[in-house]
């Protein structure tokens, strides 16, 4: 069954959706959209380093994404506005990554595949990495779910409950780095943030609890992967962007649906 490239692509898309759903919910709740974008942009530098060292792109991408996320967390609140800091680091890392790629002589690189994804070329090995990464992210978020929710609501409430908000931020940072690394092959660094944010944002008007929002986001993300791949096959369009387009249509649909009396989730 896994010899069929469309089957592998579908399973890869669903794997990324499963990883992105709970994490994307926290990204939406904490208003960390630009944080996810910055981490994703930094991953292209990790790709360049991995190719230069003749190794899998996964360890390089996750290492650089994690360094970027930790750097942003460490420098925040030290004289720079968060959006300014993220803008500088995100675009600088992307630029350095693209320059580094240009120096890799003798290595054939499809840069568009890393920027926008190449889900149709996913191999069995890639599939294993994606699903192992997704399982790790879901396990991390599930393990710290209650503490993450508390620290998301209020830092003082978290401290009163014996929870360290910085530790929970580190869990999110690690999960974000893993998700970015496994999603590069599927949607590329420029569309990873979209898969984090759009399904979660689309699920928000339909959900009454945080748990239901994460589950609905996973459903929307998975459905977007399946429908986007089908549309790409029929219409001969790029697969990664097609998946994001379907997710965006789902967001429009749920937003319109919420205007007709569907109660919104608070927070």
Both tokens of residue 223?
């459905």
Of 188, 227, 183, nearest to 23 by C-alpha is 183
State how far the Cα of 217 lies from the Cα of 213, in Å rounded to an integer: 6
Number of domains comprising the chain: 1
Predicted pLDDT of residue 49: 80
In a domain? residue 114: yes
Task: Write the CATH number for 80.
Answer: 1.10.3470.10
Smallest CA-to-CA distance from 246 within 158, 187, 175 is with: 187
Answer whether residue 256 is part of any domain.
no
Yes or no: say if 22 and 141 are a contact pair by the CB < 8 Å rule. yes
Query: 177 in a domain, yes or no?
Result: yes
Domain-embedded: residue 23: yes
Residue 179 and residue 193: Cα distance in Å, rounded?
10
| Residue 211, in any domain of the structure | no
> Which of 174, 181, 238 has its CA nearest to residue 45?
181
Q: Is residue 243 part of a domain?
A: no
Q: Write out the two tokens for 196.
A: 């984090």
Q: CA 254 → CA 18, 32, 223, 263, distances in Å? A: 19, 21, 14, 12
pLDDT on residue 180: 84
Query: Burial of 8 by CB count in 10 Å (0-12 exposed, 13-18 middle, 19+ buried)?
Result: buried
Dist CA 229 CA 246 (whole Å): 10
Domain that holds residue 123: 5-190
**The pLDDT of residue 267:** 47
Q: Which residues of 70-80 are buried (b: 16+ CB within 10 A; e: fewer)?
A: eebeeeeeeee
Which of 232, 210, 192 is closest to 17 using CA atoms? 192
pLDDT tens per residue across all 267 residues of the chain: 555 888 888 999 999 999 998 888 988 888 777 777 777 777 878 887 887 777 777 788 888 877 877 777 677 666 666 667 777 877 887 788 778 777 776 666 666 777 777 888 888 888 888 899 899 999 999 998 999 999 888 888 888 888 888 888 888 888 888 888 888 878 887 788 888 899 999 999 998 899 999 999 999 999 999 999 999 999 989 888 899 999 999 999 999 888 775 555 544
Is 225 within the bounds of a domain?
Answer: no
Distance CA(131)–CA(21), nearest Å, equals: 14
Query: Would residue 216 count as lying in a domain?
Result: no
So what's the pLDDT on residue 82? Answer: 67
pTM of the predicted model as reported, rounded to 2 decimal places: 0.84
């Amino acid at each position: 069954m896994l010899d069929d490239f469309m089957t592998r692509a579908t399973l890869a898309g669903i794997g990324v959706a499963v990883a992105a759903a709970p994490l994307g919910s926290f990204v939406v709740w904490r208003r960390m959209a630009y944080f996810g974008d910055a981490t994703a942009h930094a991953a292209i530098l990790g790709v360049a380093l991995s190719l230069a060292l003749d190794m899998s792109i996964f360890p390089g991408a996750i290492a650089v994404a994690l360094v970027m996320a930790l750097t942003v967390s460490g420098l925040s609140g030290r004289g720079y506005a968060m959006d300014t800091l993220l803008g500088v680091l995100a675009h600088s890392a992307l630029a350095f990554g693209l320059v580094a790629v240009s120096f890799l002589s003798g290595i054939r690189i499809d840069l568009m595949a890393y920027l926008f994804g190449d889900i149709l070329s996913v191999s069995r090995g890639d599939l294993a990495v994606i699903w192992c990464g997704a399982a790790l992210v879901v396990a991390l978020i599930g393990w710290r779910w209650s503490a993450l929710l508390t620290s998301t609501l209020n830092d003082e409430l978290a401290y009163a409950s014996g929870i360290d908000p910085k530790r929970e931020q580190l869990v999110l940072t690690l999960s974000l780095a893993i998700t970015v690394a496994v999603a590069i092959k599927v949607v590329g660094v420029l569309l990873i943030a979209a898969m984090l944010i759009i399904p979660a944002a689309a699920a928000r008007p339909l959900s009454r609890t945080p748990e239901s929002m994460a589950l609905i986001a996973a459903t929307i993300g998975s459905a977007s992967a399946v429908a986007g791949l089908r549309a790409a096959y029929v219409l001969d369009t790029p697969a990664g962007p097609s998946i994001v387009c379907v997710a965006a249509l789902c967001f429009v649909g749920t937003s319109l649906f919420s205007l007709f009396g569907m109660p919104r989730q608070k927070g």
